[in-house]
Amino acid sequence: MSESGTPPGSKKPKLEITSENISLPTVNWFSNVTSDRRVEHVQSVSQRDVAELVFEHTIHDLSLLPQKNGEAYFTQVFHAKSNPSIQWKLEIFPKGSINPDGKDHLSLFLHRVVVKSKDPPVVGVYKIILQQRDGKTICSKSCQQPLQFTDTAYSYGFSKFIKLDQLLGSNGLKIICQVVCEVKRKERLCVK
């Protein structure tokens, strides 16, 4: 058995995040305006590096955030412990993105932090879940089609994640982002 509890060579079951199968820490909801937490599952498959990350970002009080429509803030950078060179962060527009479609919506985008243009592309899928303080899911959206994150295409997301009027009266929000990604390495060819 491996550390993850699966026999060597067996396929790891797909990770699905729900409020039932993820344990969330007890949080003092009024200590700060936002806070972050990271969980990770890593799997190496032959020559491929596959990582599953779960990142949690808490907004304690949406009304206290200073951003206006079209203004964003970024979460802290998160990465797999096994591959710290592949870094991610969430871009959050708490009052809607500058895109006209995003007006009056909470807009959320997943960014790959690209260090060098020669970094290998990363292919991944992701899911973003918005929960209330009590763990009840308000909205969940995902990208099931694999996307290639490169130095020029490094951000994907939802300008219309959820209408802001649906969040009125929310007493604390948790954004959970699950990323499953694989590094696309160039294979070396030997010519004799």
In this structure, what CATH number is given to the domain that contains residue 80?
2.60.210.10
Q: Is 22 inside any structural domain? A: no
Which pLDDT score is estimated for 111?
Answer: 92
The closest of 75, 95, 77 to 33, measured between CA atoms, is 75
Q: Is 150 inside any structural domain? A: yes
The values of phi and psi at residue 101, to 5°, are -65, -25
Which pLDDT score is estimated for 121?
Answer: 83
Q: How far apart are CA 67 and CA 81, in angstroms?
A: 31
Q: Is 173 inside any structural domain? A: yes
Q: Which pTM was predicted?
A: 0.72
Q: Is 49 inside any structural domain? A: yes
Interacting residues of 140 by C-beta distance below 8 A, sequence separation 6+:
127, 128, 129, 130
The domain tally of the chain equals 1
Q: Is 129 inside any structural domain? A: yes
Q: CA angle 14-17-19, nearest 5°?
A: 150
C-alpha atoms less than 13 angstroms from C-alpha of 9 in its C-beta half-sphere? 0
- Residue ranges making up the domain that contains 100: 35-183
Q: Is 12 inside any structural domain? A: no
Q: Is 26 inside any structural domain? A: no
Q: Helix (H, G, I), strand (E, B), or coil: what is residue 115?
A: coil
Which pLDDT score is estimated for 90?
Answer: 95
Q: Is 188 inside any structural domain? A: no
* Contact by Cβ (8 Å): 110, 157: yes
Block mean pLDDT (10 aa), the chain, length 192 = 42 40 32 51 52 90 89 91 83 89 90 78 92 92 88 88 89 90 61 46
